Structure 1
Amino acid sequence: MNYLKTEAEVDRFIQQHALSFIYISKENCSVCESLYPQIMEVLQDYEKINTAKIVVDELPSIASKFEILTAPVLLLFIEGKEYLRHARIVPIDLFRDKINELYHLYYE
């Protein structure tokens, strides 16, 4: 897991990887903390998805860049374009199904 601390790092991460996933959290957020391990467990089955984490308190400008109003926010980019966004309460089965669908569409 990469920890991104600047907008330049975020932009570079998204552009350097065909599939990039960013988990955006907030400090002292119980939902962020409890959801994170579940999301990482799903993503471990998709080795070609590069993952990163941003703590919005450390990079407040990211909220306006990605139009974020709550936390956590899960973003999947394919070749630099946003293809998936989930925020706050994320049903794990729905998330798994969408990741699986997009991953196999891209790699087949």
Structure 2
Amino acid sequence: MKKVEQLNSMNMIEDFVKNHELSFLYVSRQDCGVCHAVLPKLRELLDKFPLIHLGHVNAYDVEEVAAKYSILTVPALLLFVDGKEFLRAARFVHFDELENQIEKIYRMYN
């Protein structure tokens, strides 16, 4: 399963996005049942894309993340390419559709 880097501050989040050409932020909360179900599926999906780095943010620990990235609900999944947001999914994630979108971006990037 894809390794997850825990991001505990806005500085860590910004550095993570800046320092990886392909970065994926997963924003969740502890009390979110959907969040707990989505993360393992996301890690499994991202195994197919070795160049994408996965970072996890607990929205309770880093409250500013919601304002910075206009996150209105969790889980929020954001894919960045060279620091720019290219893909966003939230709440109920359709993994087939998400995989197709990531694949297109990944192919364009490579």
TM over 0.5: yes
Trace 1:11-26 onto structure 2 (pairs within 5 A): 11-26=14-29
What is the CA–CA distance in structure 1 between the aligned matches of 2:99 and 2:108, rounded to whole Å?
A: 14
The residue number in structure 2 matching 1:93 is 96
Listed as ranges, the gaps of 5+ residues in structure 2 are none
Mapped pair 1:42 → 2:45: yes
**Deviation, structure 1 residue 13:** 0.5
The residue number in structure 1 matching 2:63 is 60
What is the CA–CA distance in structure 2 between the aligned matches of 1:46 and 1:66, rounded to whole Å?
A: 23
TM score, norm. by length of structure 1: 0.97
Amino acid at match of 2:59: V
TM score, norm. by length of structure 2: 0.95
SS at match of 1:21: strand
The residue number in structure 2 matching 1:6 is 9
What is the CA–CA distance in structure 2 between the aligned matches of 1:59 and 1:18, rounded to whole Å?
A: 23
Amino acid at match of 2:108: L
The residue number in structure 2 matching 1:79 is 82
SS at match of 1:69: coil
Runs of 4+ residues over 2 Å off in structure 1: none
Listed as ranges, the gaps of 5+ residues in structure 1 are none
